[in-house]
Structure 1
Amino acid sequence: MITIKDIAKLANVSDGTVDRVIHNRKGVSPKTAEKVKNILKENNFLLNPIASALATKKKYRIACLIPKSDKKNQFWKSPNLGILKARKEVTRYGLQIDIAHFDQYDSKSYLKKFKILQKNKPDAFIIAPVFSNETAFIAKELENNSIEYIFINIDNKKYKNIAFIGQDSQRAGFVAGKLMSLGLPKNSKCGVVQFRQSLIDHKAISNRISGFNNYLKEHRNDIKTKLIKISLNDKKNDLTKIKSFLNSAKTVSGIFVPSSRASYIASLLPEYVNTSNFSIIGYDTTEDNIFYLKNDKIQFIISQRSFNQGYEAVHIISDFLIQKKVPQKKTYSPIQIIIKENVDYDSRNKKTFINELSNQ
């Protein structure tokens, strides 16, 4: 591994000059700085992050604003675990990671938690931008104070976030459409579940539905879809809606759930439904989804390795702060098809970390 001393010899300058160029300090002529930068680039020079952090003596603070998870909202447990694992690793670089969890159904909670994090004067933010109007306010606040931020899980092109880590939701919906079409006979009917009254604040869900419909339109226009609005707060009424859909045609053969709640729909499925001829397709390897997958109530889960989203987000923003390493604009998560037979081999990093936590 090439060192600062090696770079100094190649550039015929002192070690101190190279150090000043790396950290953008004054005292180096433009010509010399350009020469050193070219040699650094040619040799793929990377700073030792620990040494760099110690040299700058700067204690960076990163704020993470993500939804809370519970039994009903299991998805965000994985990104949060990824953040916790990365936090254990980057604290040795002198970084402080603050995490605030908000209610993903309450925009006031989102803003309140942001303002709490703001009080600690963080150097950068990791944000799950669930609410559009409130995200516009947050982004403006950060930009006015020259604080960089990245988005996790939900992409939004309207803002100046330096990076996005998450799934290409449009393509993920397209994949779901193809999976559904493989199991459906000609002229079938398929349900598309919507849990929220409005999808304005949830672009990932609306993009998945769009991708799903686009695939069927392009490749299986014989399949008809019907939107099923589910409340989650009234199981009896939700069951009535599912039964009504199942009885609406003889050719009903599948339900697409464009979120992590496929398990809820599977729990409502009447016993008389023959799952060997019926497909439920959803997203994310939550505990409940895995349970119903293993019991043949869900046929396919599309995973996005959400644990890695949280983990990578912390490391990407840490590298940006310590090494001035500009991240690529979009880091896409996998669109991984999970079935009963391979689910136990998914997310080993997450499982290893959970075991580490339980042994502490």
Structure 2
Amino acid sequence: MAKNKKTTIQDLANYANVSIGTIDRVIHNRGKVSEAKRKKVEEAIKKLGFNPNLLARTLALGQQFMVCSLLPEASSPDSYWTLPKKGIAQAVEGHRDFGMQLEVFEYSLFDETSFVKMADAIIEKNPSGVILAPLFEKESHNFIDKLEERDIPYVFIDANIADRKNLSYIGPHLKGSGFIAGKLLNSILGPSDDILIIHIVKGLENSAHTAIVEKGFKEFFQAMEGKVRGKISSITIPTTVESELNRELTKYYIKNPGVKGVFVSNSRAHLISRYHALHDLDIKVVGFDTVPGNLTELKKGHIDYIISQRPVFQGVTAVRVLFDFFVYKKLPESVQFVPLDIIIKENVDYYINFQYQ
């Protein structure tokens, strides 16, 4: 690789298969690094033509990069949203010596006004860049308008909004993830079994990404071309309070006893599977993401498949995109789909050990 190529520390980390923190410790000769890892990093620096002096000059100019993240609040330490936030925090820490700072803002998935309040607070900060999960579409458009007026670059994770000027979207192929969920659920159901899609969100009308996932799910069955399939219905439950959620499920199942398969369109499948187990219901479940509640229910056999969207990786990649843009003026790919991993009871431990090593 040419010596003048603008190699990043993330490139070094990828090449050497080590963390950004390890790269930082080797470059600055501090902290403990095994000899094997040090040799890998030194080889990467040589092979990729990395010039740390470029970053040193950036620091000498006193440049600071304030990144603001605006993601849903984590309802508990085991919530899905702790995972992309973990990735963002880790990546910013790895770039801290190069002038990057992070300020975290959170909004409630059940209160659009909280999104508006946090978005306005970010605008007042006038940050260098923003990482955004645009789950309230209307409010996100208004926020994005203000970012673009001020030439503040921004990156989407987890959900995308088309025809905006975001640097990149980093997340799942939404329709594809729904299609895969449909194929998985169909594989473990009888041909005439009814299916229920459950959205646990404030309102489907302002959650375009959720509607896209449902569309992908239904497209799988539409592609079956005449094969017998039971009824496919969907409901939206605007709460994560289990007593309220259970009440809604009870009312639905009393009226629809033919349901044998459920697809939960977000990371809260464990709430549904716990209800099934409590009432001794033999209903297959497919959901998203390796949050602790889902993993517990998967190991118990109450969830059949989990589709992982690599949320930690999404957060790390979003920071890398902004850093490369700040320092190198490097434009990323406009869409960066993450792999969709299929997790079952038999491979879950291997996957978790690999994902977080």
- TM-score, length basis structure 2: 0.79
Question: Aligned with 1:150: secondary structure?
Answer: strand
**Matches for 1:31-46 after TM superposition, within 5 Å:** none
- Say whether residues 1:268 and 2:279 are aligned partners: no
- Say whether residues 1:341 and 2:346 are aligned partners: yes
**Matches for 1:66-81 after TM superposition, within 5 Å:** 66-71=71-76, 74-81=79-86
Q: Which residue of 2 aligns with 1:85?
A: 90
Q: Which residue of 2 aligns with 1:17?
A: none
**Matches for 1:185-264 after TM superposition, within 5 Å:** 185-196=190-201, 198-219=203-224, 220-232=227-239, 235-236=242-243, 238-243=245-250, 245-246=252-253, 251-264=258-271
Q: What percent identity do the matched residue pairs reach? A: 27
Q: Which amino acid aligns with 1:80?
A: K
Cα pair 1:305 1:347 within 8 Å, conserved: no
CA deviations on 1:264-316 (whole Å, 9 max, x unpaired) are: 101111556464xx310000111111111111111111000101111110111
**Matches for 1:53-68 after TM superposition, within 5 Å:** 53-54=58-59, 56-68=61-73
2:120 and 2:250 map into 1 onto residues whose CA distance is 45
Q: Which residue of 1 aligns with 2:110?
A: 105
- Say whether residues 1:305 and 2:310 are aligned partners: yes
Q: Which amino acid aligns with 1:190?
A: I
1:349 and 1:62 map into 2 onto residues whose CA distance is 29
Q: Which range moved further: 111-120 or 86-95?
A: 111-120
2:4 and 2:275 map into 1 onto residues whose CA distance is 63
2:254 and 2:302 map into 1 onto residues whose CA distance is 18
> How big is the shift at 1:227?
1.9
CA deviations on 1:202-259 (whole Å, 9 max, x unpaired) are: 2222111111111012125523212234343664554354345545567532111111
Q: Which amino acid aligns with 2:215?
A: S
2:106 and 2:199 map into 1 onto residues whose CA distance is 24
Q: Which residue of 1 aligns with 2:324?
A: 319
The unaligned stretches of length 5 or more in structure 2 are 6-46
CA deviations on 1:117-173 (whole Å, 9 max, x unpaired) are: 333321111111122222122111111111111111110103211111111110000
Cα pair 1:82 1:350 within 8 Å, conserved: no
RMSD, matched Cα: 2.6
Q: Which amino acid aligns with 1:136?
A: H
Q: Which range moved further: 259-268 or 225-234?
A: 225-234
- TM-score, length basis structure 1: 0.79
Question: Aligned with 1:232: secondary structure?
Answer: coil
CA deviations on 1:154-201 (whole Å, 9 max, x unpaired) are: 101032111111111100000000001111112111111122363132
**How has the CA–CA distance of structure 1 residues 307 and 348 changed in structure 2, closer, same or farther, with 3 Å as cutoff?**
farther
- Say whether residues 1:180 and 2:189 are aligned partners: no
Could you say which structure has the larger radius of gyration? 1
1:318 and 1:234 map into 2 onto residues whose CA distance is 39
**How has the CA–CA distance of structure 1 residues 115 and 231 changed in structure 2, closer, same or farther, with 3 Å as cutoff?**
closer
- Say whether residues 1:138 and 2:156 are aligned partners: no
Q: Which amino acid aligns with 2:191?
A: K
1:66 and 1:289 map into 2 onto residues whose CA distance is 21
Q: Which residue of 2 aligns with 1:282?
A: 287
CA deviations on 1:46-104 (whole Å, 9 max, x unpaired) are: 76463352354422222111111022981101000001110110111111222112222
Q: Which amino acid aligns with 1:232?
A: T
Q: Which range moved further: 77-86 or 227-236?
A: 227-236
Q: Which residue of 1 aligns with 2:176?
A: 171
- Say whether residues 1:331 and 2:336 are aligned partners: yes
> How big is the shift at 1:336?
0.8
Question: Aligned with 2:196: secondary structure?
Answer: strand
1:89 and 1:283 map into 2 onto residues whose CA distance is 29
Cα pair 2:130 2:155 within 8 Å, conserved: yes
2:75 and 2:241 map into 1 onto residues whose CA distance is 18
**How has the CA–CA distance of structure 1 residues 198 and 226 changed in structure 2, closer, same or farther, with 3 Å as cutoff?**
same
